[in-house]
Chain A
Amino acid sequence: MRIGQSEPKQSRPTLLIILVVLSLVMLTVYFREGDDGVLHGARRVTLEVTAPLARAGTAITSPVRSISSFFAGIGASRERVQALEQQNEELRARLAELEEARQENERLRALVDFAEERKFAKLGAEVIRRPVSIWEGVIVIDRGSNDGVEPGMPVIAAQGLVGQIADVSAHSSSVRLVTDQLSGVAAIVQSSRTPGVVRGSIGGALSLDFIDRTYLPVEGDVVITSGIGGVYPGGIVIGDVIAVDDRHGELYPRIRVASRVPIGSIEEVFVLVGSVVETDAGEIE
């Protein structure tokens, strides 16, 4: 049945033209103004205003996520558990070896007076908002300028690199994920020290570009930040090489990298709030 009382009003192209022009003006202003401009400021205000809503949304949906992860865990087979237990044992042994190497390294550094190893203070933060659109890989954390957070600071998780601070408000900040299509990280293959650039994509997959095919990595190689560029400190794990496609006719091989960080379900991160000379200045939190 059709609506009989009042049909929609006739279209007015003039109004649409005005709105389109207004949108184009805003786009122009956005690109021309600096970070302190009106539109960038409006976005920071929105970030601040929506932080309580995002926090409430995370709290409301938490039970549902817990239930779904519980049911997802039920499917873990005995073989899988045994494999993880074996891997755990191997990693514990490896950890002991590394601890021994670390202590030896410290002793040698002291002997040759190798000063100023950079160590970053870590600020713990909770993820309060996941990406609101598929067009971007941006999350929001509950730390802002009041906590010392500034744009450009690296963000990590226990498993490795998460991304970089994009916008900052007083009590919250947005983090551009390493998997975002606009992200690029100077990286090296840990085993061969071959430099390259890890880039995100629309699907959230990572690729390792500009790798010299003379030093092709193999599946399983670990990719870490190189520290070149001054954005990310060196040595942070980005992910593992999962596929290498060395097609003839292309300048560089196609290398896919899988992040170790569960980007879709991450709940806590650390912001590297600045470099300090290694003394007793430890972690803030």
Chain B
Amino acid sequence: MTRWGTTVGALLGAFALQVMIAPHISLFGVTPNLLLLVVITLAFVEGSSAGATVGFVAGLLMDLLSSGPIGAWALVMSVTGYLSGSLKQNLFAEGWLAPVTVGVIAALVADFAYLVVVSVIGVGPAFWPALGRLVLPRALYNAVLVMLAYPWLARFLRTDRSIKSFGRLA
């Protein structure tokens, strides 16, 4: 399968899982953002340009799926994808620490940026309560999922590489 094929497949798969499974695996009311996992992983293995593009598409899908203003998630996830790719290039981290660090930072950035965007356009919740109750718990949840899903997702997205394990991948 080509790179485009695997990317589209991963996006559609994450979209389907976001609809079917994500609402049922919420912890303490926190629902994970499975599309973000694909964006972060792809940005990490392909770079910031691919991350931004896939982030935009994934964000648009998230916008259409939710009830908020359309364009907000597209904006946030394209920036997150770009930053994830840039972090990979500029991060002084080796082995398993690199994807974990990028995953945690990107997960934090994504929900915090969304809070800022909806607050600026006047449809957001109270800022500080939302930061504690929504942004941080979800960032933590997404970061854990990134750590768990990253090796498998990366292996699926980069079939041209013989990725055997997490250590080998990172």
Contact = CB atoms under 8 A, between A and B. Distances in A.
A80 interface: no
Interface in B146-170: 160-161, 167-170
B8 interface: no
B89 A131 contact: no
B138 A134 contact: yes
A133 interface: yes
B64 A24 contact: no
Contact of A5 (B47, B55, B161): B161
Nearest to A43: B64
Nearest to B44: A8
Q: Range of interface residues on chain A?
A: 35 or more
B82 A23 contact: no
Interface string B93-137: 011000000000000000000100010010101100110011001
Interface in A117-152: 129-136, 138
Contacts of A12: 48-49
A20 B70 contact: no
A25 B60 CA distance: 13
A74 interface: no
A23 B75 contact: yes
B140 interface: no
A14 B44 CA distance: 19
A203 B31 contact: no
Contacts of A167: 67
B70 A56 contact: no
A16 interface: yes
B119 to A, nearest CB: 12
A258 interface: no
A166 B52 contact: no
Nearest to A176: B67
A54 B47 CA distance: 33
Contacts of A248: none
Nearest to B131: A202
A1 B130 CA distance: 39
A15 B70 contact: no
Contact of B62 (A2, A5, A19, A133): A133
B56 A30 contact: no
Q: Which 9 A-B residue pairings sit nearest by Cβ, starting from the closest?
A: A57-B20, A8-B47, A26-B71, A23-B75, A27-B71, A130-B23, A11-B48, A9-B47, A46-B64
Given A26-B70, A26-B71, A202-B129, 4 more contacts: A8-B46, A16-B79, A19-B56, A57-B20
